Chains A and B, each alone.
Chain A
Amino acid sequence: MGSILENFTSGIIPMEAYIFVSFIMFFSGIYGFLSRKSLLMVLISIELILNSADINFAVFNRYLYPEHFEGFFFAMFTIAISACETAVAIAIVINIYRNLNNVEVDSLDELKEPEASDEK
């Protein structure tokens, strides 16, 4: 932490600052993912997680290997993939809403074996 404060006034934005921002974003996503019940909230959390990964890609690319484009393109492809994922996920959410009339994560445990007493 100390170096971040030290570099606060100098002319260069330190890399750790970017990384730390992305951490906050990432763990906010984790928190949302773990605690929220609404499927849409879970989706928003996933978007946060993905976005923080994008930042990391871009930052590492820019700071460590500025002559290459790997991180840049990875971030770009990730954006495309997250667009896909969101589209499909929202389609599913709407479908679920149609069938169950709510969008709670906890109501989605139909695949689990019911607690029937079929033990022999």
Chain B
Amino acid sequence: MQYTLLILLLPLLSFVVLGLMDTKWKARVAGSVGTLVLSVVAALSYYTAWAYFSTANVGGIYQKIVPLQTVWMQFSGQLHIDLGILLDPISVMMLVVISTVSLMVHIYSLAYMKGEKGFERYYAFLSLFTFSMLGLVVATNIFQMYIFWELVGVSSYLLIGFYYTKPEAVAASKKAFIVTRFADLGFLIGILILSFYTQTFDFGVLNSGNAGIFASASGVTFMGASVLSWAMALIFIGGAGKSAMFPLHIWLPDAMEGPTPVSALIHAATMVVAGVYLVARLFPVYVTYTPDVLHGIAYVGAFTSLFAAVIACTQTDIKRVLAFSTISQIGYMMVGLGVSGYGGHEGTGYMASMFHLFTHAMFKALLFLGAGSVIHAVHSNEMQKMGGLRKYMPVTHLVFLIGCLAIAGIFPLSGFFSKDEILAATYMYSTGLGIGMSFIAGLTAFYMFRLYFNIFWGKENSYEHSPHESPLAMTIPLVVLAFFSFFGGLIPFGKFVTSDGAAYTGETNYVLAIVSVLIGITGILLAAAMYRKKTMLPDRVSQSLGFIYQLARNKFYVDELYLFITKNVFFKGMASPVSWYDRHVVNGSVNGLAVVTQWVSVKIKGIQTGKVQQYAWVFLLGTLLMAFLILFL
């Protein structure tokens, strides 16, 4: 299966070519090339998936296949960094998800980004992102993953800051980069600790279940926790940064400054689930050696999920609502992983989490692209400027409805199945957490339909020019993604992706399923009552909640807290003294050296008269003196 290398190399090639050509090619050519390459990649990914799932099953267990493995940098006998391709159920699943969503975004952007300045650059960056993300998921070792992890961060930065003339976009891109980079510091330290004790980077070795490699870490503790827990927790911090877990979530809402298709690709479907993927990748280590960390992950996920859902109920920028919804859903996935055990029935959470990742990628990409279609028509992100669009944009309306129903978890759409599995796993772990997650599911349904009704129903605005349906290049990806969102849940996911590789058929908990659907419908009805027609109800509700509403509307002031801490503590307390030291002591000493040298040179330059005979004088006198000294002393 060495052709899988092409899946990586083609987007890279596309990036290099498009990047070098830049504006030398017409926008249409650049877009077509990028899209064409991506469709080849998608086809290869589908073929890989088919080939993998039909051949790799040995004795009921999906094997890990490493078609390629090379040593990239050899530092010493043990310390070497490898590059390779690892195929196992989750990486193959991710290949399919990434290439599908990326292809859809490529096609969609042909119309959405038409006429933008820097169209070619946009496609080059999309290719770079796709390359990095694919490289991340097929990484055979944690260091390779880290490399691509950073590449993903860079391409995300480039794409968020695509409209680099807008100050908000520049600020958002910097924020995203710095916050995730900060989290990656934890990731790197975690990698170093882990590999220091296990003497390996390789996922195959780490996940082999061989307790011997962790032996040297046993009994080593640091500040009351075992060193392995520290390592895994730090690695999770890296994942939390990319996946926007509380309190590192602040960059994701701002990242919506990027073009909408980029939000769909990076900040909904692929990059933000990298953290989930990372935890899933090291799941055997987490579950076997550091279950406490895993439980922590579950609670972080649950809290983030609730937190983001509450904020999402109050936002008015439709992309921000979707962004907070994304954070909330990723929290779901984290919970799913966190409550999971290893293998069989115990491993439901793992399977459900991966399942939710898959379905979420589809319907959230759909929702973002749908929102992009709406923005394309209305030229605004604000809910107030929308309303009654269902008449003007029938296709967008229909697919958006499918997306909302899917995320709300209504039978038989895809979200129902995956979310229901997560809820089942959560109830198995703890009833309290389960009830909380069910509540969040209700909130999800509420805010999604608040969004839906505000855009497509509600009062009808008087538009300057009547909105129209988007072109085919935008609606076709929407329809394709709607198809996946609708029927995706029917895939028997347990047969393909489980924690131990063995197929597993989940038994449906009918009571739970019915209750979940009912909660979802309640949320929808509530939203319909409040937003379907223009009423005073929403204002009254927000006024009666008062303080809490204000808190949530301002995102619980987390951004302000960050600003306060960075400005007052870091900048004033640390950066200013360091800056002073640099400016006065470091610069001062170097400048002082230069000043002294200059002074001395001015003083002694009189010696250099430019008169040859004086030089000869000195030279001869010196020669005589030297000879004298040598002979007589």
Interface residues of A (CB under 8 A from B): 30, 33-35, 105-106, 108-113, 119-120
Contact = CB atoms under 8 A, between A and B. Distances in A.
8 contacts: A34-B617, A105-B612, A105-B613, A109-B611, A111-B610, A112-B608, A112-B610, A113-B605
Nearest to B612: A105
Interface string B593-633: 00000100010010011111100110010000000000000
A108 B609 contact: no
A109 B613 CA distance: 11
A109 B620 contact: no
Contacts of A119: 602
Contacts of B602: 119
A30 B598 CA distance: 36
A109 B609 contact: yes
A60 to B, nearest CB: 18
Nearest to B606: A115
Contacts of A34: 613, 616-617, 620
Given A33-B613, A119-B602, A120-B598, 17 more contacts: A30-B620, A33-B616, A34-B613, A34-B620, A35-B613, A105-B612, A106-B611, A108-B610, A108-B612, A109-B610, A109-B611, A110-B610, A111-B610, A112-B609, A112-B610, A113-B605, A113-B608
Chain B binding surface SS class: helix
Nearest to A113: B605
A52 to B, nearest CB: 15
A79 to B, nearest CB: 23
Contacts of B609: 109, 112
Contacts of A109: 609-611
Contact of B611 (A33, A35, A105, A113): A105
Contacts of B605: 113
Q: Which of A30, A109, A110 has the largest count of B CB atoms less than 10 A from its CB?
A: A109
Interface of B: 598, 602, 605, 608-613, 616-617, 620
Nearest to B595: A120
A103 to B, nearest CB: 13
A40 to B, nearest CB: 14
B84 to A, nearest CB: 61
B5 to A, nearest CB: 62
A113 B605 CA distance: 9
A108 to B, nearest CB: 7
Contacts of A112: 608-610
Contacts of A106: 611
B618 to A, nearest CB: 11
Contacts of A33: 613, 616
A116 to B, nearest CB: 12
A106 B609 CA distance: 10
A30 B611 CA distance: 16
Contacts of B612: 105, 108
A113 B606 CA distance: 9
Contacts of A113: 605, 608
Pairs A-B, 4 closest by C-beta atoms: A109-B610, A112-B610, A119-B602, A34-B613
Contacts of A35: 613
B237 to A, nearest CB: 52
A91 B610 CA distance: 21
A113 B608 CA distance: 9
Nearest to B617: A34
A120 B601 CA distance: 12
B74 to A, nearest CB: 54
A35 B616 CA distance: 11
Contacts of B616: 33-34
A108 B609 CA distance: 10
Contacts of B613: 33-35, 105
A35 B617 CA distance: 10
B520 to A, nearest CB: 77
A118 to B, nearest CB: 9
Contacts of A111: 610
A71 to B, nearest CB: 22
Nearest to A109: B610
A111 B609 CA distance: 10
A115 B345 CA distance: 93
A15 B535 CA distance: 127
B611 to A, nearest CB: 6
Nearest to B608: A112
A87 B608 CA distance: 28
A111 to B, nearest CB: 6
A77 B609 CA distance: 34
A34 B615 CA distance: 10
Nearest to B620: A30
A110 B616 CA distance: 18
A30 B616 CA distance: 9
Q: Which of B602, B605, B610 has the largest count of A CB atoms less than 10 A from its CB?
A: B610
B498 to A, nearest CB: 76
Nearest to A120: B598
Contacts of B598: 120
Nearest to A114: B610
Nearest to B602: A119
Q: Which of B605, B613, B620 has the largest count of A CB atoms less than 10 A from its CB?
A: B613
A105 B617 CA distance: 14
Nearest to A37: B613
Nearest to A112: B610
A46 to B, nearest CB: 11
Contacts of B608: 112-113
B606 to A, nearest CB: 9
Contacts of A30: 620
Nearest to A30: B620
A111 B611 CA distance: 10
A35 B608 CA distance: 19
A108 B617 CA distance: 17
A85 B598 CA distance: 38
Contacts of A120: 598
A119 B612 CA distance: 25
B290 to A, nearest CB: 64
Contacts of B611: 105-106, 109
A106 B613 CA distance: 8
Contacts of B610: 108-112
A112 B613 CA distance: 14
A120 B612 CA distance: 29
